[in-house]
Structure 1
Amino acid sequence: MNRKTLVLPAVIGLLAPVLAACGGSDDGGDAIVVGTTDQFVASKDNTAPLDPAIGYEAGVWNVLRQTVQTLTHIPRGGGEPVPEAAQSCEFTDTANESYRCTLRDGLTFSDGTPVTPEDVKYSIQRVLDIKDESGPVGLLANIDTIETKGPKQIVFHLSTSDATFPYKLATPPAGIVQKDKYPAKAARDGFQVDGSGPYTMKPEVKDDQVVKVVFTKNPKYKGDLKVLNDKVELNLFPDAAAMGRALEDDEIDMMTRTMSPEQSKQMLEKPKDGIELTEMPGLAISYLAFNTEDPVVKDKAVRQAMAQVIDRGSIATGVYGSTAEPLYSLIPSGVTGHTNSFFNKYGEPSVAGAAETLEKAGIDTPVKFTLNYTTDHYGPATASEFELLAKQLNNSKLFDVDVAGTPWSKYRPAQKKGDYAVYGMGWFPDFPDPDNYTAPFLDKNNFLNSPYESALAQDTLIPQSRRVADRSAASGTFTKLQDIVANDVPVLPVWQGKQYVASRDGLNGVEWAVNASADLQLWELARA
């Protein structure tokens, strides 16, 4: 989750937390109150930020996961997907090209309307038909046809083998929606979300921006999840400092995305009475990316030299403290197939090595460019990170780097158009599989809209990895993909985040309320 930016997709420390909390509710009832710095804003360019066919950011997905139901879901503690709206799902062929699901008995939307296979087909087909250029359509683009059989069965026929398809069906773009509330070929404007998930939701909006979302337990929900509370409020804050004050003042019960590194560090070193900091595994990554057709960085020697100069450990420790660690591959540690390809190729930071790389390629130095980052999407420490990156590059005397920050609403469109030679991005995984750290950056029609191409990756290795149902058996293929990235450097991994959740005493389920992919699972929270 752009994952996501797909951005999402993502910085941590600041990325880290995503959870719920306890407190009073303006809407009545003893609601658990969760704080977040995610922002949901309607604009002329994006009138439907919470439509499953449009929204592709971690914060948006964390609203959708509570309200729309998917055929499968990742179970508590991780692992392979299991049925959710479905009572069973399976590949019906050895090539992993035909996937059949059977719906649960008595499944209904929150208003009591029955959920049918036709609704599932309609919901997923509209994502493919709307085909939003910044949306999540790429996750489902491998679907060739969708077939319904009888009152309960639906079959997905895929254009190519894809062992990761059960994971993709667990993401919000595959959420089931109602025909009378979601147009077939257009987005549903506004902020209301309706489905058959564990909660109904009510957004509170001011000046075209959500200020609060109230989630109420859906009494008609039938699925695999156990909902342990009756109501959760998601309160939106302008920054981490304001969210932190609300936690200390007992106005919220939990801090989620995005705590600042300073907040996490302070809570680790000087714990406060009544507040607990919970550390969880994190799979979010931060990286630099390149427009490989830009004259400044078109020669991969320039990109390789940057990989040799940058000191990831200094950035992780100096900016993010204990909330991040150096990353030497697109696939982070903790995910099947991870290998330290960049370290294996370049070793420790070396200005001399970078100078030799540039000299052999005939590159004149210093290489001048602007290092671009977004000011309001990945947390308050991003500016410090990019100032330090620029300092490291400039101190080498091999580069002459300026830094420019841009709000996300302008940054993402400019990045996709190729306006930036070098730019920073983050990534929350759509699902915890190595494919989701490689294909979105290397495949055709990739998330970054990058002009970089590797025929070996696109035509052989990515399809080959998707034919293997046992994901650990595909590790060799993913090692080759990571080695390609380390050699060609279309992207440059910088750090991997840890997740921290801060909560007040008296809240149970905090350790389950956000998983390693930073998915918010409000149903796990309960008062002690």
Structure 2
Amino acid sequence: MNRKTLVLAAVAGLLAPVVTACGGTEGGGGGAIVVGTTDRFTATKEAPAPLDPAYTYDTNSWNLLRQTVQTLMIEPKGEGSPVPEAAEHCGFTDRGDERYVCTLREGLQFADGDRITAAIVKSSIERSLRINADTGVAALLNTIDTIETQGDRDIVFHLKAADATFPYKLTTPVAGIVNPKDYAGNKLRDGFAVDGSGPYTFQADVKDDTVTAVTFTKNPRYRGSLKTNNDKVVLRVFDDADAMGTAIGKGDIDVMIRTMSPAQIDKLDEGTDEHVSLVEMSGLEIRYLGFDTDAPTAGTKAVRQAMAQLVDRADLVSKVYGSQAEPLYSLVPATLTGHSNSFFNKYGDPSTAKAKDILARAGVTTPVKLTMHYTTDHYGSATKQEFEVLRRQLDASGLFDITIQGTPWANFSTNERKGDYGVYGMGWFPDFPDADNFIAPFLDKDNFLASPYSNKTIQRSLIPETRREADRLSAARVLTQIQDTVADDVPVLPLWQGKQYVAARDDITGTSYAINSSSVLQLWELGRGLSE
């Protein structure tokens, strides 16, 4: 029996905003819901503050923060435009979309009982901007000019330029509300403590500077838009997908999220365990190769173009991910408004002859020797296989001599930002479902990759122009121009767009909403009862 449930999520931006109920945290009972993950959370000498909202910029860590650190706005349960969360209401108050005002809900408190005021919201966001961590996360807020408060409940954001995506940016943890008692204004908070005013409190179990489990307990002082369907969730970290799969089969955990292996997903899809269901949903996750455009070899444009001409995305997807992914020919996923197949339009089908001509015209001696780096523990067990396929494709042309090297994420992410890698594999889970979030974080100044690639036309003219368009379809022409430039310069090479999966035992409800299209983990949706 096939126990897979297919969730047909609406394309982001096409639905009207979903209004969610105000008020408290209902539901619960039946014991803690235990969720398994292979995501790793590690503190290192180079990155001692992995869960500070002003520092962290990866989906894994953000998904811990989103349960505990409240934001003014939030993505709604059913997709669509952001809705108020800590705020009672928010909106632009001028025709130019440069003045954005939020009014806080009455009676907001942190979990410890301290009162939340507009001044605290202001200081929280200014803290992220002031610290300006080397992860590049503060760049999400770079359109803010000044912030003022009016009384205890009104916050006024004055923007440097029109930014129709600003409400989405207020849904992200970098704009989270933190207590100045717990988070110093000028330095990061080291370790794994997290405090906030969200639906849950947070307690991490840590061994050897690595999180082994997190307990989320319903926050009785929470006031916001979310209904919490459980009293407690325990997130258990597993070393690999196989161990996690064994645990759900035995009933030691109730839910599996990121990252299941492709083989594991196929097995669950076949319905081999009548007590475990697989939920498939659309996603906006992408994978790509990044390049240090100042590196001795990868810095040569013709080398990057030749790789773009050789990579066979369809072959890669079929051999590693099967039906769980689709080839991607742009940074912008195919399901978002503004997507263009720019790489296919420029390079067409893979061709050794065309790649050879690109290198020859640039005077590049072949075979080109390169090392491609990947992370061993951040995107799932299939990553190594993916890079083995890429190596075979490039080497088979006779134009490249590729070495691949895997590194744990805690070191990989730091090394990448330091510029230690000429070519590296990364994934991107969007901060919010808009094409801007697949362009600006990669191409704007102070981008999260710390990439030396800089196109002033894109940064100074095209990105600001797209943000002036509240109707995102009206921005499509300029978005296409940006994507075409990326296909020509190849500072990044898009590979594929993936689907998302959640597996759960048959007494767990809410799994269809446990992860949204932006890969936001919504633990409050999970409950116990009849299976869906």
Q: TM-score, normalised by structure 2?
A: 0.92
For 1:151, the equivalent position in structure 2 comes to 152
- Corresponding residue for 1:172? 173
Q: For residues 257-336 of structure 1, what are the structure 2 equivalents within 5 Å? A: 257-336=258-337
How much has 1:271 moved relative to structure 2?
A: 3.2
Q: CA deviation at 1:259?
A: 0.8
The letter of the residue matching 1:471 is R
What do residues 359-413 of structure 1 show as CA deviations (whole Å, max 9, x unaligned)? 2222222111111112222111111111110110010011111111222222222
Counterpart position of 1:241: 242
User: Gapped runs of 5+ residues in structure 1?
Assistant: 1-27
**Aligned-pair identity (%):** 58
1:451 aligns with 2:447: no
Name the amino acid aligned to 2:43.
A
Secondary structure of 1:66's aligned partner: coil
- Aligned partner of 2:195: which letter? D
Determine the structure 2 residue equivalent to 1:132: 133
Displaced runs of 4 or more, over 6 A:
none
3-state SS of 1:251 partner: coil
Query: Any conservation in 2 of the 1:53–1:135 contact (CA below 8 Å)?
Result: no
SS at match of 1:178: coil
Amino acid at match of 1:168: K
1:513 maps to 2:514? yes
What secondary structure does 1:432 align onto?
Answer: coil
Q: Is the 8 A contact 1:265 1:321 kept in 2?
A: no
Deviations 1:286-323 (A, max 9, x none): 00111112231333222111111110011111011222
Contact 1:265 1:322 in 2 (8 A): no
SS in 1 for 2:101: strand
> CA distance change for structure 1 residues 359 and 377 in 2, over 3 Å: closer, same or farther?
same
Distance 1:54 1:282, change over 3 A: same
Deviations 1:162-189 (A, max 9, x none): 1111101000111111111111111222
The amino acid across from 2:323 in the alignment is S
The answer to whether the Cα contact below 8 Å between 2:136 and 2:446 also exists between their aligned partners in 1 is no
The residue type paired with residue 305 of structure 1 is A
Checking the alignment, whether the CA contact within 8 Å between 1:442 and 1:452 is kept in structure 2 is yes
Amino acid at match of 2:58: E
- Say whether the 8 Å CA contact 1:55–1:135 is kept in structure 2: no
Task: Measure, in 1, the Cα distance between the counterparts of 2:452 and 2:208.
Answer: 38
Structure 2: 5+ residue stretches without partners: 1-28
**Structure possessing the higher relative contact order (Cα contacts under 8 Å, 6 or more residues apart):** 1
Supply the distance in 2 between the matched residues of 1:190 and 1:453 (Cα, whole angstroms). 34
Deviation at 1:264, TM superposition (A): 0.7
Deviation of 1:458 after TM superposition, in Å, equals 1.2
TM-score (norm 1): 0.92
What SS does the aligned partner of 2:305 have?
helix
Equivalent pair of 2:42/2:410 in contact (CA under 8 Å): no
Q: CA deviation at 1:207?
A: 2.8
TM-aligned CA deviation for residue 142 of structure 1: 2.3
Matched with 1:59 is 60
Are the equivalent residues in 1 in contact too, given 2:255–2:505 (CA < 8 A)?
Answer: yes
Q: 1:405 to 1:206 in 2, by over 3 A?
A: closer
Equivalent residue letter for 1:107: L
- C-alpha spacing 1:45/1:362, structure 2 compared with 1 (3 Å): closer
Residue 417 in structure 1 maps to residue 418 in structure 2: yes
- Aligned-pair RMSD on alpha carbons? 1.4
> Which range moved further: 419-428 or 247-256?
419-428
Post-superposition shift, 1:107?
A: 1.4
Q: Deviations over 1:80-127 (max 9, x none)?
A: 111111111111222222111000111111122221001101111111
Match of 1:20 in 2: none
Q: Is the 8 A contact 2:136 2:449 kept in 1?
A: no
How many angstroms apart in 2 are the aligned matches of 1:392 and 1:384?
12
For residue 22 of structure 2, what is the aligned residue in structure 1? Answer: none
- The number of residue pairs the alignment matches comes to 501
Partner of 2:374: 373
- The residue identity in structure 1 corresponding to 2:116 is V
Alignment match, 1:11:
none
| Counterpart position of 2:12 | none
Aligned to 2:21: none
> What corresponds to 2:491 in structure 1?
490
Tell me if structure 1 keeps the 8 A contact 2:40–2:378: no
8 Å CA contact 2:137–2:448 kept in 1: the answer is: no
SS at match of 2:466: helix
Distance 1:209 1:409 in 2: 10
Deviation at 1:135, TM superposition (A): 5.1
Q: In the alignment, residue 197 of structure 2 is paired with which amino acid? A: S
1:337 aligns with 338
SS of structure 1 residue aligned to 2:243: helix
Distance 2:85 2:341 in 1: 35
CA distance in 2, matches of 1:321, 1:239: 20
* Number of the residue aligned with 2:187: 186
Letter of the aligned partner of 1:406 in structure 2?
Answer: T
Q: 1:60 to 1:351 in 2, by over 3 A?
A: same
Hey, what's the Cα distance between the residues in 2 that align with 1:477 and 1:271? 48
Structure 1 residues 242, 299: closer, same or farther in 2, change over 3 A?
same
Give the aligned residue type for 1:325.
E
Which of 29-38 and 292-301 deviates more? 292-301
Equivalents in 2 of 1:162, 1:332: separation in Å? 21
Q: Which residue of 2 aligns with 1:205?
A: 206
Q: Residues 449-473 of structure 1, C-alpha deviation per residue, up to 9 Å, x if partnerless?
A: 1111222211211010011111221
Counterpart secondary structure, 2:35 = strand
256-265 or 268-277: bigger deviation: 268-277
